[in-house]
Structure 1
Amino acid sequence: MAAGLGVLAPTAAAEAGRRVHPGDSIQDAVNYARPGDIITVMPGTYYENVLINKRLTLRGFGARTVIKPPVTAATPLTPVAPVAPPAPGASAAPVAPGAATAPTAPTAATAPAGRALACSQADTGICVMGTAERPVVGVDIRSLTVSGFKRNGIWASYTDRLSVQRVISEKNGTWGIAQERSTRGLFRDNTARDNAESGLFIANTVDREGGATDTLGAVVRRNTLTGNRIGVTVRRVRNLSVYGNAVTGNCGGIFVVGDEGEPGAGDMTIRNNRIHENNKFCKGNSRLPDIQGVGIVLTGAEETIVRSNDIRGNVGASPLSGGILLFKSFVGATNTDNVIRDNVVRDNKPADLANQGTGTGNQFVNNRCASSVPAGMC
């Protein structure tokens, strides 16, 4: 009868919805949610860490829904992952942003498993954590702000089809949004700003060396990355695309990082990005020199296509400085069979294009630029 009168019955998604209001615990809502539930976090500030280990949607109201560090952290037990040696582009000791918190804010929410404490120890806003035997599939995080965590805004490990969209991740002590050991991730329309390391970071693993892993088509699309150490870092992974992003005001724009492991990093496309004036200065570490004025860097990469990007005004005196650089690897890995084509690369110093090292098969085709090292690539 309702259908005959044109009245729509509630959808299954609406029936499965849960709402969290200021003063409530997001973690409690996650704990009680059933797989497939939608949790809507209403406008307000929430002082907690959130651990997700089941399929669900967590959504808020953008800049009006803010997750910040708890005032009293839970006693840590086990970290999310062993502390890794400094990664390319990562500082040895991330510095906490020191965001202020209100004295009346609630303390950290507790989850039934010790994994919530693991997320708390990592000082991370939202953790999505599966296992090698049982990855977490189909988590959707959207329209939230995560701010001021000592480590990461969003951290994901052992996930499949994780979607992070329209999230603001700012002023976190390591990565804004990071993923390892995962496949088919989608990172779209996010803003990552003023994070101590990469705004967006995708890696095979962070706790050990190893060959590149296949992301099965991960996508980094239409994000705004500014004020970070590096805008986007993809490290020891294969088969993904980075396109349509706005990358400006960082120390470095986009880094593709591989090493001597097999299979090599690469088989990806970096296209249609706007990479302008990444001229902030970041001090070097044991793995990389100072970073300033860096557009796109490939080091230890293979079969990567860099095309149709607009790269302008990246200026610095670092060995990494310039528009598009095929950088000599510190561990002996070569850049091989990469194609750099149809890019607008202007006003970058010391050069718009540079090819270092002993790699073979790299092509520079139809780029609009004024200077190159060696000469003749423009």
Structure 2
Amino acid sequence: MKKNSVFIKILKLFLLLSIGIFIGKYFFSGKNTDTVPLPSTMKYRNVGISNDTTHVVEETTFDGNIIEVKKGGSILQAVKSAQSGDLIRVYPGTYAETVYIDKDNISLQGVVINGEWPTLDGGKKLNDAFLYSGNNILIENFKIINYKGNGVMGQAGNNFIIRNNWIIDTGVYGIFPQYGQNGLVEHNVLSKIADAAIYVGMCDNVDVINNEVFNSVAGIEIENSRHCLVENNYAHNNTGGILAFVTPGLPIKTTFDVIIRNNFIVNNNHENFGAPGSTVAGIPPGAGILIMAADDVVVENNIITGNDNAGITIVDLATGDPKANDPNSEPNPDRVVLLDNIMFANGNNPTGELKALMLTQLSTKGPDIFAMGGGTGSSILDKNKYRTFGLDDYGFPPISDTKDLISMKLNKPVAPRSVSEEELGRLTYYGICAGCHAFGTRLIGPPTEIIQAIHNGNPQGIVDYINNPKNLRPDYPEMPPQDYLPDEAKMAVAEYILSMKK
């Protein structure tokens, strides 16, 4: 027994050392990540940057002009003057503004010189740093701090790339693409986010790779989205590390075809500081991976350790979000596939219902893998490798690995969404409103039924609020103005909201 105990301790030490070496080399190059971001400045083909500290990560082509913004200038004014295909290059300085991008094919690139970043600082007064609704948008190499709502928020823009940004304390979400297709979120560092550091909402074909997320409520969240790859991320010291689930009340009702692989999911035991009543406020500290009502999720080759509640939690809506009431959302996690993962030192301090449940099993520890509620067709490669609860009906997986799938992105860009006059209200709601307002569920803003009650029979009242929002509820963040929307879109979405039924 003593030899086995010593061997296990040596193995754990080796694994922790391996994690440290990988993280140190891959993410930080020996620097303290609490104060130093990923050291890189991208360059474009045919665009020279004559600075010895420039680190080239990837070359990307563009076919327009270069617009330079330097300290004292305005990024928003540069966007307003830009044409399709232009590159806006932003030099170090502090920019206190919200940047709206409602054009297609615009690239925004920060230039990092001798450790000095272009910094968007909301001063805890502004809601969003970048708010894009255009297609083929690139946002890279920015430091974003002190916003109340979001660092980068997408509104129905396809073919987006958000990479190599340093995002701290930006309110509800750090990076939030919503209702977009064919996107990449990579090499970002995010912390101190009150909901999800990276939140992929109602999207399709998105890769979330090589990011670090920490000191947030949720590290990475795939919500009501399909065909997503979450790989090579370091999620640590959040309340929950990586989540894939369905939030009821949203117009898109499903989450499926998600691969979570090759991630480090470590010590996600942060106290939950999510907004009371929000979905993430119910995440127990100590959740490594949480799968709720999502289908066809593959969990493979992750190192999952030090998560005090459970390493992997798989639940239905009735268990995970008992207040949910959406008859159109199928509530069960089906066909979850658990392949080979390294898991140890999870469940050391379970809380709430899980703690009580484990006591009925004469144990004070939580499991590596916990499943409860409905669902069919799920499987696990080797259940005997882990401490498990609730996996009695899990069979043998239909696959052994996912190595042949390199990316969930499509091989070529997708076209912008075409919007007919009849669909204008519905698609504007999907792309602009639904990420913050849902039926019966608190997201960023008040639930949709409250908006309907306030503006019953008065679509113009909603239009006026869209143009000039006022923060009348101190328990919700201020809504950013959406006055860049065409007048017909504002009225169409107002009428659509008032006509909606759960």
Give the TM-score category using the shorter length.
Answer: 0.7 to 0.9
Q: Does 1:32 align with 2:48?
A: no
Match of 1:354 among 342, 361, 370: 370
Q: Does 1:227 align with 2:277?
A: no
- Count of matched residue positions in the alignment of Structure 1 and Structure 2: 301
Within a 5 Å distance, the mapping from 1:173-188 to structure 2 comes to 173-188=171-186
Q: Note the C-alpha offset of 1:374.
A: 3.4
Within a 5 Å distance, the mapping from 1:114-125 to structure 2 comes to 123-125=127-129
Within a 5 Å distance, the mapping from 1:30-69 to structure 2 comes to 30-54=79-103, 55-62=105-112, 64-69=117-122
Kindly indicate whether structure 1 or structure 2 has the higher relative contact order, using CA contacts under 8 Å at least 6 residues apart: 1
Conserved in 2, the CA contact under 8 Å of 1:343 and 1:367?
Answer: no
Q: Which has the larger radius of gyration?
A: 2
Residue in 1 that maps onto 2:390: 374
Going by fraction, where is helix more abundant, 1 or 2?
2
Q: Does 1:363 align with 2:379?
A: yes
Please give the secondary structure, in 1, of the residue aligned with 2:95: strand
After superposition, give the CA deviation of every residue in 1:149-172 in whole Å (9 maximum; x if it has no partner): 011011101111110010111111
- Structure 1 pair 147/368, CA: closer, same or farther in 2 (3 Å)? farther
- Structure 1 pair 262/22, CA: closer, same or farther in 2 (3 Å)? closer
After superposition, give the CA deviation of every residue in 1:118-173 in whole Å (9 maximum; x if it has no partner): xx6xx1001002xxxxxx22111111111100110111011111100101111111
- Write the distance in 2 (CA, Å) between the matches of 1:262 and 1:147: 31
AA partner of residue 196 (structure 1): A
RMSD: 2.6
Residue in 2 that maps onto 1:264: 254
Q: Does 1:296 align with 2:289?
A: yes
After superposition, give the CA deviation of every residue in 1:22-60 in whole Å (9 maximum; x if it has no partner): 111111111101111111100111111111112211011
Please give the secondary structure, in 2, of the residue aligned with 1:30: helix
- Structure 1 pair 19/324, CA: closer, same or farther in 2 (3 Å)? same
Going by fraction, where is strand more abundant, 1 or 2?
1
- Structure 1 pair 241/374, CA: closer, same or farther in 2 (3 Å)? same
Q: Note the C-alpha offset of 1:10.
A: 8.1
Conserved in 2, the CA contact under 8 Å of 1:19 and 1:41?
Answer: yes
- Structure 1 pair 20/336, CA: closer, same or farther in 2 (3 Å)? same
Please give the secondary structure, in 1, of the residue aligned with 2:181: coil
- Write the distance in 2 (CA, Å) between the matches of 1:241 and 1:368: 27
Conserved in 2, the CA contact under 8 Å of 1:342 and 1:368?
Answer: no
Question: Where in structure 2 are there 5+ consecutive unaligned residues?
Answer: 1-44, 49-60, 325-329, 348-365, 395-502
- Write the distance in 2 (CA, Å) between the matches of 1:235 and 1:9: 38
Residue in 1 that maps onto 2:149: 151
Question: Where in structure 1 are there 5+ consecutive unaligned residues?
Answer: 1-7, 71-97, 100-119, 130-135, 205-213, 316-320
Residue in 1 that maps onto 2:272: 282
The TM-score with structure 2 as length reference comes to 0.56
- Write the distance in 2 (CA, Å) between the matches of 1:259 and 1:47: 33
Q: Does 1:242 align with 2:224?
A: no
- Structure 1 pair 199/17, CA: closer, same or farther in 2 (3 Å)? same
- Write the distance in 2 (CA, Å) between the matches of 1:145 and 1:9: 25
Identity %: 24
- Structure 1 pair 359/10, CA: closer, same or farther in 2 (3 Å)? closer
